[in-house]
Amino acid sequence: MVSRFRIERLSVCALALAGVMAGLPAFAAGASISQANGTAGLAALAPEERGDILMARGEYMAAIEAYREAPSNAQVLNKTGIAYHHLLAMDLAKQDYEKALLIRPNYPEAINNLGAVYFAEHNFRKAIHYYQKALMLLPNSAVIAANLGTAFFARGKYEPGLAAYRRAFALDPTVFSDSSQVISGPTTNQDRAHQDYCIAELFAEAGMQDRAIEYLRKAFDEGFTDRNKVMENQVFAKLRQTAQFAQLMAEQKSH
């Protein structure tokens, strides 16, 4: 799982989670770091603000307690869902995301997060549905586009998966640069290998050769075996002229 938030959102996901979640404001929004230090400082803050700081600290149960003290609205319910999501309490996370959507049906962060729950449950069809809906509402979100791509790959649908990845990469070329931004989901080795191969193509097209080599190596490690495809793919034409590529292919030949 997991990830970085966009537009004043804090990264609260962990690689053990099943998707990139969204909807938590930046650390100590409206509160200084000094206020966040110490029990007395936290107690003086409004419940939602206190919950945000506890989330940033990874104290998820305490954050849930704080959010439960805050006025119930879509944003607070989404944050509570994120806290449960971190605890892998998917049913409780789903309940809070759904409650948030009853209040605010077109809340893209909560829709995305609900997609992440279905992804965790291996219900990739539903995950795709919710990621597509969230992306319609937030068309400039590279993270949601990447989520969608990974869900397609998890269903073995490589062409729409690559299309979603291309969109994510066009929106933000750094979206795949941090593994915490990309869903690490329950895909098969074969699907994961195709996924990494496609990401390598995107980096190669962008002239980011080191990153392209990194993801080609990951693809091979996951079981990608079509060396001819790598040697014939025009996307890798310049990459094939590098010493790094020669070394990588020599390594594969020796296996």
Q: Look over the chain and give the mean of its residue pLDDT values, rounded to a whole number.
A: 83
Q: 90 in a domain, yes or no?
A: yes
Q: 63 in a domain, yes or no?
A: yes
What is the pTM (predicted TM-score) of this model? Answer: 0.79
Q: 216 in a domain, yes or no?
A: no
Domain count, the chain: 1
87-136 per-position pLDDT tens digit: 999 999 999 999 999 999 999 999 999 999 999 999 999 999 999 999 99
- Per-residue confidence at 7, pLDDT binned at 50, 70, 90? very low
- Per-residue confidence at 31, pLDDT binned at 50, 70, 90? very low
Q: 21 in a domain, yes or no?
A: yes
The DSSP code sequence of the chain is: -----SSSB-----TTSSS----PBSTTTTS-HHHHSSHHHHHTS-HHHHHHHHHHHT-HHHHHHHHHHSPP-HHHHHHHHHHHHHTT-HHHHHHHHHHHHHH-TT-HHHHHHHHHHHHHTT-HHHHHHHHHHHHHHSTT-HHHHHHHHHHHHHTT-HHHHHHHHHHHHHH-TTTTTSGGGS---S--HHHHHHHHHHHHHHHHHTT-HHHHHHHHHHHHHTT---HHHHHH-GGGTTGGGSHHHHHHHHHHHH-
How much is the average pLDDT of 141-168? 92
Q: Does the pLDDT of residue 191 top 80, yes or no? A: yes
Find out whether 104 and 113 touch, Cβ atoms under 8 Å. Answer: no
Residue 19 is predicted with a pLDDT of 53
- Per-residue confidence at 253, pLDDT binned at 50, 70, 90? confident
Q: 227 in a domain, yes or no?
A: no
Parent domain of 97: 1-140
Find out whether 101 and 70 touch, Cβ atoms under 8 Å. Answer: no
Q: 164 in a domain, yes or no?
A: no
41: domain CATH number is: 1.25.40.10
213-225 per-position pLDDT tens digit: 999 999 999 999 8
- Per-residue confidence at 184, pLDDT binned at 50, 70, 90? low
Q: 246 in a domain, yes or no?
A: no
Q: 231 in a domain, yes or no?
A: no
Residue 21 is predicted with a pLDDT of 67
Return the amino acid letter for 187.
T
